[in-house]
Amino acid sequence: MDDVQAYIESHRQSFENELAELLRIASVSADSRQRAETRRAAEWMATQFRQLGLATELVETGGHPIVYAESLPVLGKPVALVYGHYDVQPPEPLDEWTSPPFEPTVRNGNIYARGATDDKGQMLTHVKSVEAWMKTIGKLPLQVKFLIEGEEEVGSAHLEPFVKEHREKLVCDCVVISDCSQFAPGIPAITYGLRGIAYYELRLRGPRQDLHSGSFGGAVTNPANALAVLLAALKDENNRIQLPGFYDDVVPLTDREREEFRALPLTDEQFMQQLGVTGLSGESGYTSLERRWARPTCDINGLTSGYQGEGAKTVLPARASAKFSFRLVPNQDPRKITASLRKFLEDRLPPGIALELVDHHGAPGVLVSLDSPYMSAAAAAIEAGFGRAPVFIREGGSIPIVTTFTHELGADVLLLGWGQNDDNTHSPNEKFSLDDYHRGTRASAQLWQELAKTTNRTKKTQ
Ligand SMILES: [Zn+2]
């Protein structure tokens, strides 16, 4: 292991040069004018893998190619699958970049370029760590598979079918993804939970057409009023969601999780300052981080009805609609929520109103047990690479590809973010700290060692 880490130390410059080389390729997946460049990034990745002696394929998809590579199987040891993406967001607006987006430039220890942190820099740490093993020990202590796509920034349309179709090839014990952030500078983190979602549109229809609110108001149900009443009924005054059975499947926070969250350096005052709000609210009995990461929510995302133009118009609108969504936590099932919601609304529908409920999309949440041996392996690896143990955090949003890996491959997903929250992902002046690049590479090299110590096919004991 010392030789591996010494290799990483002595190759800092060449690793940085190679990152810069990849960052010079304008692999903007959304831009058809960059099709050839996007392909060039896929080929660049494939060349890296071939040079390491991995069995490598460039898989055509009908969109941008998927790069797949794997090292040799190691009997009795687990299999790790690294997921990443070589495509990047469009760089516009160009005039807001201090240095051009595809001319990587180092300032204050950060490398600035589109894709620096999302995801070329973070992804490359795992390739360089494999290089360090191959060039010193000559082989890896476990089998590592790489699945690198070129359509993450445009919705990964071809990845899910690929995963479903190649379940056998992709079979693994854990999936490693570095495409997110540390908790704060100097505080590395492992993200072990994501919320799910259930997104709806409710359309209410009343009279045949808009009516005069003076002549008819008071005798006819107003769809906008009805919408307000229905939406308000979804939560009580303690912000508890009122759908029958809504909380039945919710996995409660453990004492250990609550302690971990409480120890994180983020006060409500700092949080309010970040957002520019003068107060906070949420479900009674939970802290802000618990509410954001581990409790389900209901939020209205859009409201439409009546007159929105200049001045006053005394109208009783014929229609009203709302888009709203629930953020779900493990193990809530979006289909059960839909059934409960439909009945809840129908039971409360006032006379003279017709209802249409559109189920836009749903995805369950993901939770990896903190007792998973792979989780402990990742924590030890991060401590070795970053010089401090990681904190365990959750994320309030959803990452669809993680759900796919969890459901299709049945593997524990390790979200190991090497970035920082202020890396300007998707924005001008995207950056990645070169120190974090090297720390991430060290942690990754250690991860292969730590994972190899775990027993093959150990299932979580939750
Ligand atoms: Zn990304």
How close is the Cα of 361 to the center of ligand 1, in Å? Answer: 21
How close is the Cα of 177 to the center of ligand 1, in Å? Answer: 10
The tens place of each residue's pLDDT in the chain, 462 residues long, gives 899 999 999 999 999 999 999 999 999 999 999 999 999 999 999 999 999 999 999 999 999 999 999 999 999 999 999 999 999 999 999 999 999 999 999 999 999 999 999 999 999 999 999 999 999 999 999 999 999 999 999 989 999 999 999 999 999 999 999 999 999 999 999 999 999 999 999 999 999 999 999 999 999 999 999 999 999 999 999 999 999 999 999 999 999 999 999 999 999 999 999 899 999 999 999 999 999 999 999 999 999 999 999 999 999 999 999 999 999 999 999 999 999 999 999 999 999 999 999 999 898 999 999 999 999 999 999 999 999 999 999 999 888 889 899 989 999 999 999 999 999 999 999 999 999 999 999 999 999 999 999 975 544 333
Please give, one letter per residue, the 3-state secondary structure of 19-77. HHHHHCCCCECCCHHHHHHHHHHHHHHHHHHHHCCCEEEEECCCCCCEEEEECCCCCCC
How close is the Cα of 166 to the center of ligand 1, in Å? Answer: 22
Residue 169 CB partners (closer than 8 Å, separation 6+): 68
Catalytic site residues? 87, 152
How close is the Cα of 218 to the center of ligand 1, in Å? Answer: 53
Of the candidates 430, 402, 398, 423, the residue with the CA atom closest to the CA atom of residue 89? 430
Of the candidates 340, 256, 262, 264, the residue with the CA atom closest to the CA atom of residue 296? 340
How close is the Cα of 17 to the center of ligand 1, in Å? Answer: 21
How close is the Cα of 279 to the center of ligand 1, in Å? Answer: 32
Neighbours of 23 (CB within 10 A): 27
How close is the Cα of 68 to the center of ligand 1, in Å? Answer: 18
